[in-house]
Chain A
Amino acid sequence: MSNQLPAIVLLLTLLAAPLCSMMRNGDHAWKLAVSSAWLSVVAAFALLQQVWGGYEISYHMGGWPPPWGIEVRIDELSALVLVLVTLFGSIVLSALRESLRPIMRSHRHSLYYTTFLLCMASLIGITITGDAFNVFVFLEISSLSTYALIARGRDRRALTASFRYLIMGTIGATFILIAIGFIYMVTGTLNMADLAERLPAHADNRVVQASFAFFTIGIALKVAVFPLHYWLPNSYTYAPKATTAFLAATATKVSLYVMIRFVFDVYGIEFSFQQMQLGLLLVPLSIAGFLIASLTAVFQNDVKRLLAWSSVAQLSYMVLGLGLLNIDGLTASITHMFNHAMIKAGLFLALAAMIYRVESSKLSDLAGIGRTMPYTTAAFVILGLGLIGVPLTAGFVSKWYLISAALEKDWLWLAVLLIASSLMAVVYIGKIIDAAYFKPVSASHAQVKEVPPIILIPCWTFALLTIYFGIDTRLSAGLAGRVAQTLLGVGS
């Protein structure tokens, strides 16, 4: 049983999805979806435990050995991303039923859960597969389901946002497909481990170099690296509330995982950073990204949009850590991937709870929310502190590594910029706290009550996890540090 886990973790959600679609009763579908999702969390943790300490699992689908068959390959990094996707996805899914209620009639719910599960399954698939073409296939599934998820937003603009994301996503996926096609043309293999062995011999091949360009642009689109981030703010703003929490937590993070996988493993660090000088492109773009996006977030009046822009900034931190190409930087990148997924999912979920009652995410409409919905707002504040990077929250750990990485390069100016950007985070989170606690309660929302526990508990779970991972960093930074060493080929 336990050696079939790599298949099980994927199949749980993948098979639950069609079953959900056949159910007419939304409540039953939700129960099925939630239980399959939480089972996959268990499986993910079991897998993490198996690879803990730097081990790898190679699972051959259908018993066909690689490179002919499809290989499932799990190491510590993919196990961490697996935990991220399943755990945070499941927590959001648990809160989803309540927050869908005002948006759609309950017999439609089952279809929504189907899409949600499909998206989750495909993200799991991307994470665990060892096959480059599989990555593309799952990426497409996840994109398609994401478009559907976003389009269900109550605001009509969700449709255009979804459509724009569809165009951009398709271009991105096509670019990735072209890149994979090119390297397949040169090497004749699709297995990632196999590719990693064969590619160095073709490092001077123009086709491989072109494929690298297509790949970086394609994946940068999915990760929302500045200036290819334009699809993100609208998609996040107009998607149904709780869905945004799921997307913000998982979709971009998994794309970042693919980026790390390909840049460091498949293409190889020497090719990517020395021959192609990827760092030269990533570092300036991400610096511009976090400065501009943080600044933009400061000036937003709509909390959803503000958080979406903050996501762009935070993603830039991760890409920056990757581009710095030292152990601290890569550790920061991976740790922040995990921490930010948690924090942002929590923030969007808490915001979803507020919107659930107040039906607006305008800063002016949320005035005084700290008094009418004290528990939700308290969770929001804790998570907000995490986003800023206050000590004893998870955000601090990743910022610490990122700044250490900048100092290790003797780039004092970068450390200063990072701190400046953190101060901007203080301002934009401070704006929300200011409105929530210090402004008088706006008359139209004076009567709102606290949300039901089924939404509140997931919010607080994220808040408490944020504090927990600020103190115990074995799972996040500890693992990330080991992974960083392996990826950079330093130490064991």
Chain B
Amino acid sequence: MTSLNPALLFLLAGVLLPLLPSATRRHCVLIVPLVGMLLLCLTPYGSYGQGDIFGLQMVSYRLDKLAFVWALIFHIAAVIGAIYAFHLKDPVQQVAALIYQGAAIGAVLAGDLLTLFIWWELTAIASVFLIWARRTDRAYRVGMRYLIIQVGSGVILLTGVLLQLHTTGSLAFEHIGLGSLASWFIFVAFGIKCAFPFLHNWLQDAYPEATVTGTVILSAFTTKLAVYALARGFAGTEILIWIGATMTAFPILFAVIENDLRRVLSYSLNNQLGFMVVGIGIGTELSLNGTAAHAFSHILYKALLFMAMGAVLYRVKTIKASELGGLYKSMPWTTVFCIIGSMSISAFPLFSGFISKSMILTAVAEQHYTWVWLVLLLASAGVMDHSGIKIPFFAFFAHDSGKRCDEAPLNMLIAMGIAAFLCIAIGIYPDALYAILPYTVDYVPYTTTHVITQLQLLMFSALAFAVLFLSGLYPPEIKSVNLDTDWFYRVAAVHVLTPLTNAAKKSTAAVFGTTDRLAQFSLNRMNDWVGPKAWLTRTVDSSGMVALVLGSLLVFLLVYLF
């Protein structure tokens, strides 16, 4: 009984959910992940659900230490998400969330590539409904783009899997490593879901457009699933270090100038993924532990931040930085929770981000990747800037927007409270998290050096903030605030960057415009060739058809006889 795959439980509940009355539905959404978590914790490590599908050996449920970390945090995220969405009556979102969460858990527990692919595609299909559920025209179009990219990732994965099967004769999902053509296909498929640079746009495009609760749920699963898949298949692949380092650095620039606070968080999500990807690329036990731990704590604080922003959106109906401010008077609890999330993501000592990120940084230093280490350090400072200060400051403090609203609903506060509690608990007592990591941990986060270094970084940011604020240099109305170790060139950078990004936007628009026109043109030509009235598809008269048959016969006879 205990070896029942929790993913199947989610799936079954998701399918049966619409049949339940709406009052019971939301309880069901909450109970399912709790039961799933119980099942997961009772199951001993091992492989279950083995079977043969058309002659191929499948392991649909493989539980080991690596998979366990992810499966556990996915369950926790599902519980928090269910509480946060407890007020919802929309069956579409409830069903989509359950199936999406189940698919992500199923993918993490998949022991072979084909099972992985099946769940992989299901996450794509189920999650898009969380975007569409916003029921705006824009959400519809964004969802379509998102779906195309996600399904595309699945198709690439399937191609890779098929090639892998063909070359190695095995479907087992173990270490793959870059090399063969198959592995590149699989790598790119993972990379799309993991939002590698240049493959990342779907994330910032789609997440801010989902529903209030949808974004919270989306933020936890898709990308972390990809991180897991990379950790499983491509640990120690050096190119990942450079990809990851790029991922930590470049989103900061965009996050700084972005006005939509949920989009700021999406960029910051990308940046956090970078740390994990670097950890995978390093590939030592310490760094993989760091990646797992960071994924764990990241899901919690990122969900917390998205929940806080979601609560603001829910109450105020806008999430534009320029329209918010002074909300701490109306939403004190949300403010507190958001600050806890910010401190976690900025890696303050005694918060969860500190104990996980420092593992990755230490692992990088141990392997003597000096430049990467510097980039990560810079990126950490950037995180402090855009997520640690920008988010809470613009939403809850800054100039008073004059908006007054109610505190977030009770269920949202409870969900945020649980996440905040876990953030602090992990930060204070990291051994609990360290105990479940894939490898044995002999790492001590709270050494004097670590704490002092981190505090210096953070204190300098705070100092810079104070100096700017008091001297009036701080620009109150524009979209970004630049307080960090590198504030002196960043203040100027705002003025340089804004026209630059505007130019970038313009040129992308131009490129897209051209491709649009090109696409329209080729569509028209296609329609001429194969459309309903085109020569290829129009009704051929009988004599034409007979001529065709005789012609073919002639060709065949000629081929056969001569």
Contact = CB atoms under 8 A, between A and B. Distances in A.
Interface of A: 163-164, 167-168, 171-172, 175, 206, 209-210, 212-214, 216-217, 220-221, 227-228, 230-231, 233-234, 276-277, 280-281, 292, 295-296, 298-302, 305, 309, 390-392, 397, 400-401, 403-404, 407-408, 415-416, 419, 422-423, 426, 438, 471, 473, 477-478, 481
Contacts of A471: 53
A277 B559 contact: yes
Nearest to A175: B553
B162 interface: yes
A296 B530 contact: yes
Contacts of B165: 404
Given A167-B545, A167-B546, A407 B162 contact: yes
Contacts of A227: 548, 552
Contact of A213 (B54, B55, B530, B560): B560
Nearest to B181: A412
A214 B553 contact: yes
Given A168-B549, A299-B530, 17 more contacts: A164-B541, A167-B542, A171-B546, A209-B560, A210-B561, A213-B560, A220-B552, A221-B549, A277-B559, A292-B530, A298-B530, A299-B527, A299-B531, A404-B166, A407-B163, A426-B151, A481-B54
B140 A400 contact: no
B556 interface: yes
B459 interface: no
A163 B546 CA distance: 13
A400 B54 contact: yes
Interface of B: 53-55, 114, 117-118, 121, 140, 151, 155, 158-159, 162-163, 165-166, 526-527, 530-532, 534, 536-537, 539-542, 544-546, 548-549, 552-553, 556-557, 559-561
Contacts of A231: 545
28 contacts: A168-B549, A209-B561, A212-B560, A220-B552, A221-B549, A227-B548, A227-B552, A228-B549, A231-B545, A234-B539, A281-B559, A292-B536, A295-B530, A296-B530, A296-B537, A299-B530, A299-B534, A305-B532, A309-B537, A391-B117, A391-B118, A403-B162, A404-B162, A404-B166, A407-B166, A419-B158, A438-B140, A471-B53
A210 B549 contact: no
Contacts of B542: 163-164, 167-168
A210 B121 CA distance: 50
Contacts of B545: 164, 167-168, 230-231
A127 to B, nearest CB: 24
Contacts of B526: 295, 299
A276 B559 CA distance: 8
Question: Interface SS of chain B: helix, strand, loop or mixed?
Answer: helix
Contacts, number: 109
Given A210-B557, A228-B549, A397 B118 contact: no
A168 to B, nearest CB: 6
Contacts of A206: 561
Contacts of A171: 546, 549
Given A167-B546, A221-B549, A227-B552, A481 B557 contact: no
B155 A230 contact: no
B546 A213 contact: no
Contacts of B117: 391
A292 B535 CA distance: 12
A422 B557 CA distance: 34
A292 B537 CA distance: 10
B536 A296 contact: yes
Contacts of B539: 230, 234
A-B CB proximity, top 3 nearest: A391-B118, A213-B556, A296-B530
A413 to B, nearest CB: 12
B540 A230 contact: yes
Nearest to A209: B560
A155 to B, nearest CB: 13
A392 B118 contact: yes
A217 B537 contact: no
A320 B114 CA distance: 24
Given A230-B545, A299-B527, A299-B530, A217 B162 contact: no
Contacts of A416: 159
A415 B159 contact: yes
